[in-house]
Amino acid sequence: MAQKKGGSRVSEDTEERHILQAILLADSFAQKFRPITLERPKVLLPLVNIPMIDYSLAWLESAGVEEVFVFCCAHSKQVINYLENSQWLNIPKFNVITIESHDSVSAGDALRLIYDRNVIRGDFVLISGDTVSNMSLTQALLEHKERRKKDSNAVMTMVIKKSKPSPLTLQTRLGNDELFMAIDPNTQQLLYYEDKADHLKGTLSLDKTLLADNPAVFLHNDKQDCYIDICSPEVLSLFTDNFDYQHLRRHFVKGLLVDDIMGYKIFTHEIHSSYAACVDNFRSYDTISKDIMQRWTYPLVPDVQFSGNCPTKLERQGMYKASDIRQSRSAQIGPFTLVGNGTTVGDHSKISNSVIGEGCTIGSNVTIEGSYIWSNVTIQNGCQIRHAIVCDGVVIKSGAVLEPGVILSFKVIIGPQYVVPAYSKVSLLPQPTKQDSDEELEYADNSSVENQSLLSTMLDLPNGEVTSKPSESSEVGISGVGYIWSVCEGGHEEEWRHSIAPISAEKLIDLKNVAQADLDLLTQDAGVLPTSGELKPDSDIANSEDADTEDFRDDSFDKEVEATFLRAVHESVEQDHVIIEINSLRLSYNVPFSDCAGAIFYSVMKLATETPFTTNSELYRTTVNVTTKWGGLLKHYLQTIDEEIEVIMKFEEICLESIKEFAPLFAQILHLLYDKDILSEDAIISWASEKEGADESDKIFLKQSETFIQWLKEAPEEDD
């Protein structure tokens, strides 16, 4: 292996202290900033009037990194051009090298490519190009090196930061997914990592072996991941060895923690007073912009020159003003606002908590609140703009209103008096057809890159042509130009979470209710635990308050399986194909086989109820037909007795909750499943004995099938 060679050299080098390298991923491999990112890469989007990548590079330089590999993929030309024209390539002792790729669809691909280039010689810092930080790396690097000396398996140090301590701010501040971590308090080793938390699952399950090795473990819900990693060269080779690692956290970190074959370890480094955050979505864009204005990121603040930015002057109340502003005397420019060079503000306009770029023209009686107006934007008289992002070259005609959460992409024109509805995204480019986004939920992000390059070629058309096309549509008011993107299905949930608009009171309540529902689920969950007494809360309490959460419980996995199954039924897909599809679903949702079995069983039973029926015997007949047809599929997922028991339990649940029609047929169908060899005798008997200890209300079905079980127990031999 090439790495071997490199490795030995590294060990020599470490003695002399070789230069510190960094990898900066100038592509987020996500779509969260669409539609803006269709036209410009995310790292070049201005954050308080300075491209994001400048913050990242400035920090790397100040932290003592001497060589940075900037990995560009989407809009790579734009990034490279930008860097070539910037000062970054000419700083002594700070070497910026671009690596270009056209076919990488994930961070994993990027790291594999960099590994192939064989340019990383020692420990390196891995960040994405949207990182804003002022932390010092010295301590973290030192810790990492010390650990490496003692244990060569300590391959990565992850920077974390305590976030605001309320359960709700955790989620609402940066719009991130909720993060649960388990950390060893003594060694700071990361033991568990769960982002993209499934809200429907009320519990967090720590492997028992984890506690066997550590007498104490800290569980955290109050930390945020800064997405700054200090990695050893092994990390790159790990990505190469595991070609299916795509996402840094979801695959790589999880892979190391869960499938820990080689004993690789990840450690954490907590920062306390310094700042570190990633612009992951519009909400964090908003939050981080405000943090910059409020100088949490010092020295990376607007009045300190750290890249090619124009000098601004800090005035009272967090006001930053460039030197060349024409501002009407009657205009009020409020607190925490930055106004860029060459901008004109008309009479009686009010601007607060906003960033205005360079060369903007703002008419009179305009209200701008909590918004980000990029460069060369024209806002005519009487417009109202709240919590919106307005990109370069946009024209907002007089009297137009932008409701909270609106994103206007480059050169959009909003017609006069037009009210852009909340959360709309408007772009000159039509929304890409979503052929790709439906199928592979998880990887939808990735395929976008191809899409992007496709669309960016469209952009190369002369401007006039692009603008002329949609003008007739006037989706955005008379003489307006632009398409309003519809929110794709399922996106609504994310929409408000990631938007820059403040979260409405109802959503906050919803959030809390989710938290509450968790606890409800929990009390139910616990009821399943086979401890001695009765642990379920009294059913009346549970029912009255759980009624609305009931639907939650069938989590999305079950729904997906059902949908897949139904499609298979209606389009008569082959059974083998169904199995493949369900397997991939299983993998992407990371559920055990038993859940799979349960979900399929549910789908099969649901199918049986689709045929109209009036009597129980009719229902039974359809059930027989359906199980005959799909028994093979079910059987495929019932490899062990545990899964069979799971299915019986699921059946009980179905009878009790979702499809009560089956309740009187429980014993009959159980017998049927036995006859069809779907359930084994052992499974039924162990289910029965398991249920023996349950409380009375739980035993209805056991009683119903008593004779059948008795028969099973008594005549096992003859039966065979």
Partner 1 sequence: MSSPVMDFQVVVLAGGASKNLVPIVSKEVPKPLLPVANRPVLSYVLELLESNNLKDLIVAVEGKEAALAVGGWISSVYVDRLHVEVAAVPEDVGTAGALRSIVHHLTADDILVVSGDLVCDVPPGAVAAAHRRHDAVVTSLLCSTPTSGVSETGSSGGKDKAKKPKRCNIIGLDPTRQFLLYVATGSEVEKDVRVQKGILRAVGQMEIRADLMDAHLYAFKRSVLQEVLDQKENFQSIKKDLLPYLVRSQLRSELSSNGAAHAEETWNEKLTSQNNQSFFSQHLANATKQSFHELYASGLNGSAPAPASRTHKCCVYIAENSKYCARLNSLQAFNDINRDVIGEASHLSGYSFSVHNNIIDPSAELGLKTTVGPQCMLGEGSQLGDKCSVKRSVIGRHCRIGSNVKIVNSVVMNHATIGDGSSVQGSVICSNVQLQERVILKDCMVGAGYVVTAGNEIKGESLARKEKS
Binding interface with partner 1 (CB under 8 A)? 164-170, 172, 178, 180, 182, 185, 197, 201-208, 210-212, 214-222, 505, 508-509, 512-513, 515-516, 518-520, 522-523, 525-526, 529-535, 537-538, 541, 695
Q: 159 or 179, CB closer to partner 1?
A: 179
Q: Are 475 and 419 in contact (CB under 8 A)?
A: no
Q: Are 97 and 60 in contact (CB under 8 A)?
A: no
- What is the secondary structure of 226-285 as a DSSP string? EEEEEE-THHHHHHHHSTT--SIIIIIIHHHHHS-SS--EEEEEEESSS-EEE--SHHHH
Q: Are 322 and 312 in contact (CB under 8 A)?
A: yes
Q: 519 or 563, CB closer to partner 1?
A: 519
Q: Comparing C-alpha atoms, which of 308, 350, 345, 305 is closest to residue 324?
A: 345
| Structure token pair of residue 275 | 């700042």
The number of C-alpha atoms within 13 Å of 710 and in the hemisphere containing its C-beta is 5
CB of 259 to partner 1, least distance (A): 16
Q: 2 or 168, CB closer to partner 1?
A: 168
Q: 182 or 476, CB closer to partner 1?
A: 182
CB of 502 to partner 1, least distance (A): 9
Q: 182 or 238, CB closer to partner 1?
A: 182
Using the structure block, give the residue that is written with the tokens 């998880």.
Answer: 442
CB of 215 to partner 1, least distance (A): 4
Beta strands in 55-189 (DSSP E): 67-72, 95-100, 124-128, 131-133, 154-162, 180-183
Q: Comparing C-alpha atoms, which of 15, 226, 23 is closest to residue 109?
A: 23
Q: 462 or 530, CB closer to partner 1?
A: 530
For strands 361-362 and 312-315, give the pairing. Answer: unpaired
Q: 273 or 531, CB closer to partner 1?
A: 531
| Structure token pair of residue 15 | 């003695």
Q: Cα(330)–Cα(349) distance, rounded to whole angstroms?
A: 7
Q: 112 or 173, CB closer to partner 1?
A: 173
CB of 675 to partner 1, least distance (A): 35
CB of 525 to partner 1, least distance (A): 7
| Structure token pair of residue 167 | 């359960």
CB of 285 to partner 1, least distance (A): 19
Residues sharing a CB contact under 8 Å with residue 275, sequence separation 6 or more, in sequence order: 132, 133, 134, 135, 291, 296, 297
Q: 197 or 444, CB closer to partner 1?
A: 197
Q: Are 173 and 287 in contact (CB under 8 A)?
A: yes
Q: 538 or 692, CB closer to partner 1?
A: 538
CB of 493 to partner 1, least distance (A): 18
CB of 398 to partner 1, least distance (A): 35
CB of 548 to partner 1, least distance (A): 11
Return the DSSP state at 665: G
Q: Cα(590)–Cα(254) distance, rounded to whole angstroms?
A: 11
| Structure token pair of residue 627 | 């199980």
Q: Comparing C-alpha atoms, which of 386, 388, 390, 478 is closest to residue 427?
A: 390
CB of 210 to partner 1, least distance (A): 8
Q: Cα(87)–Cα(358) distance, rounded to whole angstroms?
A: 20
Angle at 214 between CA 213 and CA 216, to 5 degrees: 160
Q: 182 or 597, CB closer to partner 1?
A: 182
Q: 61 or 184, CB closer to partner 1?
A: 184
Going from the C-alpha of 48 to that of each of 173, 239, 402, the distances in angstroms are 18, 35, 20
Q: Cα(485)–Cα(487) distance, rounded to whole angstroms?
A: 6
CB of 214 to partner 1, least distance (A): 8
Q: Comparing C-alpha atoms, which of 550, 524, 522, 558 is closest to residue 698?
A: 524
Q: Comparing C-alpha atoms, which of 174, 59, 50 is closest to residue 125?
A: 59
CB of 170 to partner 1, least distance (A): 8
Q: Cα(280)–Cα(28) distance, rounded to whole angstroms?
A: 8
